[in-house]
Structure 1
Amino acid sequence: MIDQADTLVDEIIACVGNKIVLGIPLAVGKPVAFVNALYQRAKHDPSLSLRIETGISLEKPVGKSALEKHFLEPFVAREFANVPDLDYMLDLRRGCVPDNIVISEFFFKAGSFLNSPQQRNYTSTNYTHAVRDLLDKGVNVIAQIVGKRTCGQNHEQVTTYSLGSNSDLALDLIPEMDKLKATGHRVAVVGEVNTNMPFMRNHAEVADSEFDFILDLNTQPDHQDYALFAAPAASISPEDHLIGLYASTLLKDGGTLQVGIGSLSSALTYSTLLRHENNRVYNKVLSDLNVFNKFPISRDIGEHGAFEEGLYGCSELMVDGFVHLYKAGVLKREVFEDLTIQHLLNQKKISKTVTLATLNTLLEYGAINSTLTQADISYLKRYGVFRPEVSLVHGKLVTPNATAGTDISQPDIQHWIETHALGPSLKGGVVMHGAFFIGPRAFYDDLNQFSDDEHQQFCMTSVNYVNDLYDHMLGNQQLKQAQRKHARFINSGMMVTLDGSVVSDALENGQVVSGVGGQYNFVAQSHQLRDARSVIKIRSCAYRKGKLTSNILFNYGHNTIPRQLRDIVITEYGIADLRGKPDEVVYSELIKIADSRFQQQLLAQAKAAGKIAPDYQLPPEYANNTPDMINAFYRKYQAQGLFAPFPFGCSFTAQELKLGKALKALKSKTSTRTGKLLAILGSLHTQKPDHDTEQLIKRMKLEAPSSLEERITRRLLVAELQKQS
């Protein structure tokens, strides 16, 4: 137990020596106090060699232009108060990391290191292989933020720690570090206590003996733990909402859900809630879009009713959407760690409500013996079939008020059990398995405010448990398969080629945008499970270097998911069902959900390659994929209070929303030299700004421009704000 970060650095150097390979988790689980102290020590002591192995190093947003900086400064000061910076990230941006330090990541925050020397330090790997790769790289120190709690009284007190946001790798790494210790290697496992980290239970709660060192700064007078990095909710665009709506039609009641992060994930959550809570309107929307006729897969494998049995979440990333679904009664299908119970629930031979039939069914399927043993009693109590007070004493079933024999085939003993021993319902089930989490501040607050019963239903666990089907110390393949019925593994991509290959992590010049993460794992898993499907969400087009380009391409020089694993692709224009289809169908289905401004070009390329018959014509119902169509749909339902840009709360003020919209439009218009010239010419005829516009201009520190550039910028911004008012 250590109460100073610098003291911990001394201990680590004494433990492992001057060559440190530090493994720290993805995203919010990084132990910032320890990492910064270790980094600064190495920075000022060239005799130390430090390699940091990690992923998703989070940074507070920083604008590139003066305009962006003026917009962001008050927002960052408010939303990231008491959130510390990672010193190594500050130095990476300044280009002043010393030669004795290397920072290597296997997953970048999307787009954060394009055109950066950091591209050279990227490691491409599947999330499930990260532990193996860390060991291969010689990791000798692992560290992360942990939650802490002490239960009991006086000498009976027991302290446990929670891996909190990042049980993903630690649950597998710690045993491997123990093996290294046993063979004489000098290694260390470090936990840094932070009282703001939600204390997750189940697999994430571990004994204090799992750690070699605990850094707990709370023993210092007046110490306040730093705030966790919270990701503000992103605006959901009309296009995103439509993608989420189409994806929601593929969910099957009683099924399994995996999602990613960002506005596309939030859009799916929103439409899933709409389906459950306002089903009449939901189906009216689907009817208006002619979903079931145009995209019959939504009828064939999905459903459009409310969720009676509910969903089970099995997702490497637990986002705030899962908590919204839980509160609404959608995320409620519990899974259990016992294969027999899980199979019987799947087959509806038992239900969560315990009756005498539950006991007899478990007997019929060999889960217990006719004459109950101590192991049987423990099993039945663990899963709530028997009450906690039931025990086996001298060959008799005993409760505080009654005693009976153990031969449950006897009618009188069955009657006794029904009267004295049966519990009300199965227990030990969970509605969510996740490997790491990140989200808005309100999400962390929700997790911190969970009751004990709610915590028991959310299990943060190993990424190797969640992301693949192989046997694992926490559950074997048969159990995973039984739990993950009707799975919809939903992820996002950047581009898709007409042969069904998906581009999600990098560009064709080799530059890495983000990383593979767990996407390949989930896609592969979907092909291994009989009733599972992989769903990739992609926006149909994007602006690149000021030019509108299609995200559905004839070909591309890189892919993340190869064509032989193609399955379902969704854009704002619909759903393409690709699995097991011949190339002609695959090519035509993807063209059907492309933006119409690119459809004829794609069709011509496909025909030229002999992939589509020369006389094929695109059906007219798929030829109106235009922004005008989307905007007309959006305006209609937005007027009814649906599909809002921030349905789950907004971190921006009303002023910031107006400015953000104007700045986004202005950035797009001025991304090319011609566009910039046209925008300047158009701004010459702006009217005098009214009081509200003046306040916005003041917020951007342009009320008294001191240079020609600032005067032009002010005029451009005023013009854009006036267009939007």
Structure 2
Amino acid sequence: MTTAPVIHNDVEKCVDAIIEKIGKDIKFGMPLGLGKPVHLVNALYKRAKADPSIKLVIATALSLEKPAAAPGLESKFMGPFVERLFGDIPDLEYMVDLRKKALPPNVEVTEFFFKAGAFLKDDKQQQNYICTNYTHAVRELVALGVNAVSQIVAKKEINGVPRYSLSSNPDTSLDLVPILREQEKKGRKIAVIAEVNNNLPFMVNHAEVGEDEFDLILENPVYEYPLFGAPNMAIMPADHMIGFNASTLLRDNGTLQVGIGSLGSALVYSAILRHKNNALYNEIMDDLKLEERFPVISELGGRGTFEKGLYGCSEMMVDGFMHLYKAGILKREVFDNVDIQTLLNEEKITQNVSLSTLDALVEQGVLPTTLRAKDIEFLKQYGIFKRSVDMKGGCLLAGDQTIDPTLEDDNNRALIAEHCLGDKLKGGIVMHGGFFIGPKDFYQDLRDLTPEENEKFCMTSVKYINHLFDHEFGDQKLKVAQRQDARFINSTMMYTLGGAAVSDGLENGKVVSGVGGQYNFVAMAHEIDDARSILNLKSYRTTPSGPKSNIMMSYGHCTIPRHLRDIVVTEYGVADLLSKNDQEVYIELIKISDSRFQDELLSEAKAAGKVAKDYQLPDIYRHNTPEKLLATYNKYKAKGLFDPFPFGCDFTQEELQIGKALKGLKAKTATRSGLLKCMWEAIKINMVPEEFSHLMDRMDMSDPSNFKAKLEQKLLVSELIAQKT
């Protein structure tokens, strides 16, 4: 399709145009996360609510919602915070009604990935969930019969021509739209719609498209709203230790995938610590005896700085990648030519161009000894030759200089070196990402990239990133060459001693989040010789009935089957499970489990015949306790390390203090006995100490008007006093 799109400045007229184009049976696809066209989907949803003859299916993933709070103390705390951060961002109205269980019968919402835990109590959404790998999302949308797709885009005029950026979400669009266009050629009615929001960073490379990508464009400044910013989560002590342990597995000149959340941020923090304060980083490694206890670190990782740097290849470009970029770590550039990439990997060339670059390309069979016109274009594309060099009449033209293109002649070589060669290879990419979501300063960092820097970041198809199959942007051989020494790092909730990971759901069938790309990255790690899959895991969780191990004998659901076991990292260490027999796998996992559960786990393993009856766990692995971990954490926190918010915080100092107290209160009141004890302490409070009066003002609790409000005030003050002492 090359017809110019119809541009609308009124969302209702845009909805009219969609219905006119495809009818009232609308299967509306939107990208995961940030890229949803909020105004358009809201107007379309309202239209369906008002007109029962419209049948609307909304197919997407990870519908972003403003944080909700339970009534009472939590609401008083969260209300002003949410208004400050999200007040100017419109709600997804289908999500508001979905939460109220008020979706009309002619509207259905189906997703393939949830915000973690968001729909555990929603039977309808559990039923509508589509279980799939992220790379298969396009397949599922096609199978669903999607006939309209839309997302927000950024717009620029370049040399008077409008250009659009898929920005945060080229992840599925780049593969889905061509399929829909092929269906359209066969007579199917299709609509591809853009909603312009220039708050989006204008990402180039694969994300940049022309106006012919779209049938309809909704463009009006009144519809532009601030981007949904995901606040930085606090990195807790155990998170920091997991991140530190995982950072020891990174290899300079390698590749990194990292997921969202505090564990990903903790890894980024420790990687920067390793690079910026290497002496202190090594002190911590020695203090923890990590290489002694876990030899795999010396085999796979390192403790040095990132002189050559890392390349990011991650389905989600988290804000951590920008922190790595600013720290001078995310700097290994990869190229879309397998021969150039292979020569770089083998260190037969560098990014600095010289005659040896040409010689290596000749030896590789990429270039003949006598250059041809097509060779000149190739060399100019990658910066090996200057853009001004041309070929005419069988000779190289460089300004006024005419040069014979034979590379074996010393005189020709000298002239080529002087007049033709560029300075550095061009077209290098430091980051391939499928989508991004993050805090607001992350979006600003992306907007602030210079044009040259922007070229180094390539938002692209998730099918290109998440597995090795050939793709129009690069075949398997190229992907393997780019992804050398890859560390594909994700998080998991639980892990069985047999080697299976539980990351997306529970054994009762409830979906917590979704498979996403985790399976793809795990499988890909097994297909690349020097790649490893690393799953980060908190060793235990706190429940109302006490702590429970997240490493267990067995579990009735798995996301990653045990035959794809690889590396597991907890706050206590690193378990290398690859190519190990079952006894070794069981023992390696018990070594990194919390010591409160080690005897039970070992007994279960022995009872099942998986570990020899006379095996004794060495004493060096017998001290995995929260108390010892906290002592180590506090030792280095006193030296200025392991800040809970190293990359900024959206909470004020007052809010941090209140939030800590509310978290403590919630934990203490989780049981009936704990609740009664807290209430007993609370009723002893006669007045609010002066030092907490400003906190009561922040919570609008300075002058409670009834018994319930007075009790809530006393409970909060009691906990603030307890935490101070």
> What interval of TM-score do these two structures reach, taking the shorter chain for normalisation?
over 0.9
DSSP-derived class of the 2:441 partner: helix
Residue 65 of structure 1: aligned partner: 71
Offset at residue 309 of structure 1 (A):
0.8
Distance in 1 (CA, whole Å) between partners of 2:544 and 2:97 is 28
Distance in 2 (CA, whole Å) between partners of 1:262 and 1:268 is 10
Distance in 2 (CA, whole Å) between partners of 1:545 and 1:317 is 34
The amino acid of 1:80's aligned partner reads: F
Is 1:44 the counterpart of 2:50? The answer is yes
Offset at residue 543 of structure 1 (A):
2.2
Q: Is the 1:63–1:72 Cα contact (8 Å) retained in structure 2?
A: yes
DSSP-derived class of the 1:316 partner: strand
Residue 262 of structure 2: aligned partner: 263
Q: Is the 2:501–2:562 Cα contact (8 Å) retained in structure 1?
A: yes
Is 1:158 the counterpart of 2:161? The answer is yes
The amino acid of 1:173's aligned partner reads: L
Distance in 1 (CA, whole Å) between partners of 2:405 and 2:280 is 55
The amino acid of 2:157's aligned partner reads: T
Residue 389 of structure 1: aligned partner: 388
Distance in 2 (CA, whole Å) between partners of 1:394 and 1:300 is 55
Range that drifts further, 461-470 or 670-679? 670-679
Q: Equivalences for 1:433-512 in 2 at 5 Å?
A: 433-512=432-511
Offset at residue 54 of structure 1 (A):
0.4
Offset at residue 546 of structure 1 (A):
5.1
Q: Equivalences for 1:119-138 in 2 at 5 Å?
A: 119-138=126-145
Offset at residue 224 of structure 1 (A):
6.2
DSSP-derived class of the 1:25 partner: coil
Q: Is the 1:81–1:227 Cα contact (8 Å) retained in structure 2?
A: no
Q: Equivalences for 1:510-659 in 2 at 5 Å?
A: 510-545=509-544, 547-659=546-658
Offset at residue 707 of structure 1 (A):
3.2
Distance in 2 (CA, whole Å) between partners of 1:396 and 1:579 is 56
Q: Is the 1:546–1:668 Cα contact (8 Å) retained in structure 2?
A: no
Offset at residue 582 of structure 1 (A):
1.0
The amino acid of 1:169's aligned partner reads: T
Q: Is the 1:32–1:86 Cα contact (8 Å) retained in structure 2?
A: yes
Is 1:212 the counterpart of 2:219? The answer is no
Distance in 2 (CA, whole Å) between partners of 1:555 and 1:721 is 41
Offset at residue 682 of structure 1 (A):
3.0
Is 1:171 the counterpart of 2:174? The answer is yes
Offset at residue 622 of structure 1 (A):
1.3
Q: Is the 1:666–1:717 Cα contact (8 Å) retained in structure 2?
A: yes
The amino acid of 2:129's aligned partner reads: Y
Distance in 1 (CA, whole Å) between partners of 2:465 and 2:686 is 58
DSSP-derived class of the 1:82 partner: coil
Residue 422 of structure 2: aligned partner: 423
The amino acid of 2:48's aligned partner reads: A
Distance in 2 (CA, whole Å) between partners of 1:600 and 1:401 is 81
Residue 287 of structure 1: aligned partner: 286
Offset at residue 282 of structure 1 (A):
0.1
Distance in 2 (CA, whole Å) between partners of 1:629 and 1:211 is 58
Q: Deviations over 1:567-593 (max 9, x none)?
A: 111111111111111111111111111
Is 1:713 the counterpart of 2:712? The answer is yes
Distance in 2 (CA, whole Å) between partners of 1:209 and 1:30 is 20
Structure 2: where are the runs of 5+ without partners? 1-6
Q: Equivalences for 1:44-443 in 2 at 5 Å?
A: 44-116=50-122, 117-152=124-159, 157-218=160-221, 223=222, 225-443=224-442
Q: Is the 1:257–1:315 Cα contact (8 Å) retained in structure 2?
A: yes
Distance in 1 (CA, whole Å) between partners of 2:364 and 2:686 is 80
Distance in 2 (CA, whole Å) between partners of 1:102 and 1:672 is 38
**1:683/1:546 CA distance change after superposition, 3 Å:** farther
Q: Is the 2:148–2:191 Cα contact (8 Å) retained in structure 1?
A: yes
Q: Deviations over 1:637-671 (max 9, x none)?
A: 11110000000111000000001111111111111
Offset at residue 421 of structure 1 (A):
0.5
Offset at residue 65 of structure 1 (A):
2.9
The amino acid of 2:445's aligned partner reads: D
Q: Is the 2:197–2:223 Cα contact (8 Å) retained in structure 1?
A: no
The amino acid of 1:204's aligned partner reads: A
The amino acid of 2:592's aligned partner reads: I
Offset at residue 243 of structure 1 (A):
0.1
Offset at residue 66 of structure 1 (A):
1.6
Q: Deviations over 1:657-689 (max 9, x none)?
A: 001111111111111112111222233444743
Offset at residue 692 of structure 1 (A):
2.6
Q: Deviations over 1:214-258 (max 9, x none)?
A: 11113xxxx361011000000000000000000000000010000
Residue 3 of structure 2: aligned partner: none
Distance in 1 (CA, whole Å) between partners of 2:91 and 2:392 is 59
Distance in 1 (CA, whole Å) between partners of 2:710 and 2:544 is 25
Distance in 2 (CA, whole Å) between partners of 1:619 and 1:701 is 55
Offset at residue 555 of structure 1 (A):
0.9
DSSP-derived class of the 2:386 partner: coil
The amino acid of 2:80's aligned partner reads: P
Offset at residue 627 of structure 1 (A):
1.2
DSSP-derived class of the 1:191 partner: strand
Distance in 1 (CA, whole Å) between partners of 2:545 and 2:166 is 44
Range that drifts further, 366-375 or 441-450? 366-375
The amino acid of 2:99's aligned partner reads: R
Distance in 1 (CA, whole Å) between partners of 2:183 and 2:344 is 41
The amino acid of 1:432's aligned partner reads: M
Q: Equivalences for 1:643-722 in 2 at 5 Å?
A: 643-686=642-685, 688-722=687-721
Offset at residue 192 of structure 1 (A):
0.8
The amino acid of 1:208's aligned partner reads: E
DSSP-derived class of the 2:402 partner: strand
The amino acid of 2:249's aligned partner reads: L
The amino acid of 1:186's aligned partner reads: K
Range that drifts further, 205-214 or 381-390? 205-214
Q: Is the 2:522–2:564 Cα contact (8 Å) retained in structure 1?
A: yes
Q: Is the 1:346–1:482 Cα contact (8 Å) retained in structure 2?
A: yes
Offset at residue 558 of structure 1 (A):
0.3
Q: Is the 1:143–1:192 Cα contact (8 Å) retained in structure 2?
A: yes
Offset at residue 545 of structure 1 (A):
4.4
Q: Is the 1:546–1:671 Cα contact (8 Å) retained in structure 2?
A: no
The amino acid of 2:343's aligned partner reads: L
Offset at residue 408 of structure 1 (A):
2.2
DSSP-derived class of the 2:8 partner: coil
DSSP-derived class of the 2:335 partner: coil
Distance in 2 (CA, whole Å) between partners of 1:627 and 1:709 is 36
Q: Is the 2:683–2:711 Cα contact (8 Å) retained in structure 1?
A: no
Range that drifts further, 8-17 or 675-684? 675-684
Offset at residue 698 of structure 1 (A):
2.5
Structure 1: where are the runs of 5+ without partners? none
Offset at residue 547 of structure 1 (A):
3.3
Taking only the aligned residue pairs, the percentage that are identical comes to 53
Distance in 1 (CA, whole Å) between partners of 2:236 and 2:71 is 24
Q: Deviations over 1:131-167 (max 9, x none)?
A: 0110011000010011111111xxxx21111110001
Q: Is the 2:153–2:165 Cα contact (8 Å) retained in structure 1?
A: yes
DSSP-derived class of the 1:271 partner: helix
The amino acid of 1:127's aligned partner reads: Y
Q: Is the 2:251–2:301 Cα contact (8 Å) retained in structure 1?
A: yes
Distance in 1 (CA, whole Å) between partners of 2:544 and 2:517 is 29
Q: What is the Cα-based RMSD across aligned positions, in Å?
A: 1.1
DSSP-derived class of the 1:543 partner: strand
DSSP-derived class of the 1:275 partner: helix
